[in-house]
Amino acid sequence: MPQTAPAPPPLSRLRLVVGEEELLRARAVAEVRAAVRQLDPDSEEHELAAAGLPVGDLADVLAPSLFGGHRLVVVTGVHEAAGALVDSLLSYATDPDPGLTLVLVHAGGKRNEALLQAFRKAGAAEDTCAKLTSAGDRMGFVRNEVRRVGGRITADAAGALLDAVGNDLRALSAAASQLVSDFGGSIDADAVARFHRGQAEVTGFTVAERVLVGDSAGSVEMLRWALDRGVPHVLVADALADGVRTAARVASVGTSNVGDLARQLKMPPWKVKKAQAQARGWSIPALQQAVGVVAELNADVKGVAASADYALERAVRRIVELRATSGAGRGGRR
Amino acid sequence: MTALPEGVWRDVVGQPEAVAELQHAVASPASMTHAWLFTGPPGSGRSVAARAFAAALQCPDGGDGTCHACRTVLACTHADVRLVVPEGLSIGVKEMRTVIGLAGRAPSQGRFQVVVVEDADRMTEQAANALLKMLEEPPPRTVFLLCAPSLHPDDVSVTIRSRCRVVSLRTPPAAAISEVLVRRDGVEPVLAQWSAAASGGHIGRARRLARDEDARAARKAVLDVPLALSSLGACLRAADDLVGTAAAESAAASGALDAAETEAVKASLGVGARGPGVAAASRGAGQLKELEKQQKSRATRIGRDTLDRALVDLAAFYRDALVIATVRGDLARVRHLNHPDRSADALELARRVGAEGALRRIDAVLAARTALEQAVKPQIAIEAMCVALRLPA
Ligand SMILES: Nc1ncnc2c1ncn2[C@@H]1O[C@H](COP(=O)(O)OP(=O)(O)OP(=O)(O)O)[C@@H](O)[C@H]1O
Ligand SMILES: [Mg+2]
Ligand SMILES: [Zn+2]
- Tens-place pLDDT, residues B134-157: 999 888 889 999 999 888 888 899
Question: A107: part of which helix (H) or strand (E)?
Answer: none
**What 3-state class would DSSP assign to B54?**
helix
pLDDT of B274 strictly over 70: no
Letter for the amino acid at B140? P
Q: Give chain A's mean pLDDT.
A: 87
Are A52 and B390 inside 8 Å of each other by CB? no
Q: Residues B61-120: pLDDT tens digits?
A: 999 999 999 999 999 999 999 999 886 678 889 989 999 888 888 888 878 999 999 999
Please indicate whether residue B390 or residue A178 has the higher confidence score (pLDDT).
B390
* Mean pLDDT for the stretch of residues A73-85: 95
pLDDT of A270 strictly over 60: yes
pLDDT for residue A328: 45
Rounded distance from Cα B8 to ligand 3 centre (Å):
8
* Mean pLDDT for the stretch of residues A144-173: 86
Judging contacts by C-beta atoms under 8 Å, the chain B residues touching residue A48 are none
Banded pLDDT at A2 (limits 50, 70, 90): very low
| CATH entry, A135-199, from 1.20.1300.10, 3.20.20.370, 2.102.10.10, 1.10.8.60 | 1.10.8.60
Of A249, A294, A296, the CB nearest to B236: A249
pLDDT for residue B391: 97
Q: Give chain B's mean pLDDT.
A: 89
Give the Cα separation of B75 and B236 in Å (integer).
Answer: 46
Q: Residues B195-241: pLDDT tens digits?
A: 999 998 999 999 999 999 989 999 999 999 999 999 999 999 999 99
- Mention the CATH class of domain A14-128: alpha beta
Judging contacts by C-beta atoms under 8 Å, the chain A residues touching residue B388 are 292
Which residues line the pocket of ligand 1, CB cutoff 6 A?
B 11-13, 40, 42-48, 118, 180, 203-204
Are B334 and B324 in contact by the 8 Å Cβ rule? The answer is yes
Nearest to B130 by CA among B103, B154, B170, B148: B103
Are A203 and A190 in contact by the 8 Å Cβ rule? The answer is no
pTM across the whole model: 0.66
- Taking the CA of residue A289 and the nearest CA in chain B, the distance in Å comes to 8
Are B236 and A252 inside 8 Å of each other by CB? yes
* Mean pLDDT for the stretch of residues A238-257: 91
pLDDT of B277 strictly over 70: no
Give the Cα separation of B55 and B63 in Å (integer).
Answer: 6
ipTM: 0.75
pLDDT of A92 strictly over 80: yes
- Could you tell me what percent of chain A has a pLDDT over 90? 49
Q: Residues B349-387: pLDDT tens digits?
A: 999 999 999 999 999 999 999 999 888 999 999 999 999
**Which residue intervals of chain B are DSSP H helices?**
16-27, 46-58, 68-74, 93-103, 125-136, 158-162, 174-185, 189-198, 203-211, 213-228, 232-269, 278-326, 343-373, 378-389
| CATH entry, B7-168, from 3.40.1120.10, 3.40.50.300, 3.20.130.10, 3.30.420.40 | 3.40.50.300
pLDDT of A316 strictly over 60: yes
| CATH entry, A204-329, from 1.10.3720.10, 3.90.15.10, 2.70.170.10, 1.20.272.10 | 1.20.272.10
Of B278, B376, B379, the CB nearest to A57: B278
pLDDT for residue A330: 44
Give the Cα separation of A279 and B338 in Å (integer).
Answer: 40
Q: Whose CA is nearest to atom 15 of ligand 1?
A: B43
CA A316 to chain centre: 29
Judging contacts by C-beta atoms under 8 Å, the chain A residues touching residue B381 are 295, 298
Chain B 267-296, residues with CB within 8 Å of chain A CB atoms:
271, 273-278, 281
Which chain B residue has its CA at the smallest distance from A294's CA? B380
Q: Where in chain A is the domain with CATH 3.40.50.300?
A: 14-128
Task: Tell me the domain boundaries of chain B.
Answer: 7-168, 174-211, 232-254+296-389
Q: How is B338-376 classified by DSSP, letter by letter? A: SSGGGHHHHHHHHHHHHHHHHHHHHHHHHHHHHHHHTT-
- Could you tell me what percent of chain A has a pLDDT over 70? 92
Q: Whose CA is nearest to atom 9 of ligand 1?
A: B45
Give the Cα separation of B387 and B240 in Å (integer).
Answer: 12
CATH number of B232-254+296-389: 1.20.272
